[in-house]
Amino acid sequence: MNVDEMKDVREFRAGAPKPDRARLAEGRNRLSSAAGRGRGRRLRADWRLAAVGAAAALTAVAVLASGLGGGGHSGAERTVPGATRTVSGSVKEVLERAASTVERADPPPTPHAGQWIYGKKLSAYPGGWPKSAAAQPEPEPEPQEYWARYADPHFENGKEGDDRSMRERLRFLDELPDDPAAVLKKVRAYYPSGKGNPESEGEHDMRALSVLFESQPIPPQALGKLYRALAAVPGAEVTDHLVRDLAGRDALAVGHDEKGQKVRREILIDPHTYQYLGDRWIVVKDYKESFDFTGADDTPDRPWKAGDLMFQNALLATGVVDHKGDRP
């Protein structure tokens, strides 16, 4: 991982919601240690960091390209007649349509060792806190390109824990069962919660699924199974209207709702092709986030308002290439 990617990871993690001190301490220690070594070693692509947009975790599915829209990263929805943006059906009905549609697609060629997964995406996050009086408005996000080894030896050495190479993830997806409940059970075991993590089952499911949706090139049958599993997440729901993703594209937003929830993670899906578009975190309840960082005891609480967007990721293009730096 290069210096710019390390900076991206630190900035993404800086604004993440705080589940508990012990869990954050582990991540902070790992990031600080990796940054202090000053080497080109790739930071452990932990699935929990991937879930908040860590650059090291980018992976991608068949070539999916889209022109950039003018949505920016303010989170504001464009004004479009309500009738044209209504989403009909329950979350199970919507995702069954999605699964049935994508399953009819021809499977992409399987990459081979030595090839690279290319990805291009937009990401937005709230930046550091507190903001100074002289802080400039946040610039519009610019597309970033990434390359990840398909068969990365660093993640296939038996010591990677719950980090997986793309080859390992695609093998896992190929072996998913048909039953959505069984899929969720396997996914939870494949990406387990961290020690002492108090997250609910629904939160756990959304975290793990959000990583698997980025696996590329994902077989159509596996994508269909993931959509049906997403519908089976406890508290799963689909927003009753289309939203705009960070690139300005129409999207179905599928998240989960449960008592006491402050932030909802949403998977964004193209309403026509039903391909994965990205994800976002949206605040659903006013609250203040406390910080407990070493040397920053005087950091004031950060206020969040319902409707605020914490993180946004929009996948613009992906593909399989022969060399790092190549584009599909």
The answer to whether the beta carbons of residues 51 and 125 sit under 8 Å apart is no
Buried b / exposed e across 304-318, counting CB within 10 Å, b at 16+? Answer: beeeebbbbbbbbbb
Q: Which of 35-44, 71-80, 120-129, 140-149 has the highest mean pLDDT?
A: 140-149
Residue for token pair 């899929």: 183
Q: Which two tokens stand for residue 150?
A: 């398909």
State the pLDDT at residue 294: 58
Q: Identify each DSSP E strand in the chain by its residue range.
A: 116-124, 144-149, 236-238, 243-244, 250-256, 263-269, 276-283, 287-289, 302-304, 309-321
- Among 216, 230, 276, 234, CA closest to 96: 230
Give residue-wise pLDDT tens across range 227-236. Answer: 999 999 999 9
What pLDDT score does 317 carry?
97
pLDDT at 137: 75
In the numeric block, which tokens belong to residue 111? 């990459």
Residues sharing a CB contact under 8 Å with residue 47, sequence separation 6 or more, in sequence order: 57, 162, 163, 191, 207, 208, 211
- Cα distances from 158 to residues 22, 58, 162, 170, 191, in angstroms, run 26, 21, 10, 17, 15
Residue type for position 319: G
Mean pLDDT of the chain: 78
Reference 77, options 287, 276, 239; nearest CA is 239
Structure pTM? 0.75
Q: What is the pLDDT of residue 185?
A: 97
pLDDT at 41: 29
User: What integer is the mean pLDDT of 155-171?
Assistant: 85
CA distance 265 to 278: 11
Cα–Cα distance, 95 to 288 (Å, whole number): 34
Closest C-alpha among 95, 20, 107, 91 to residue 234: 91
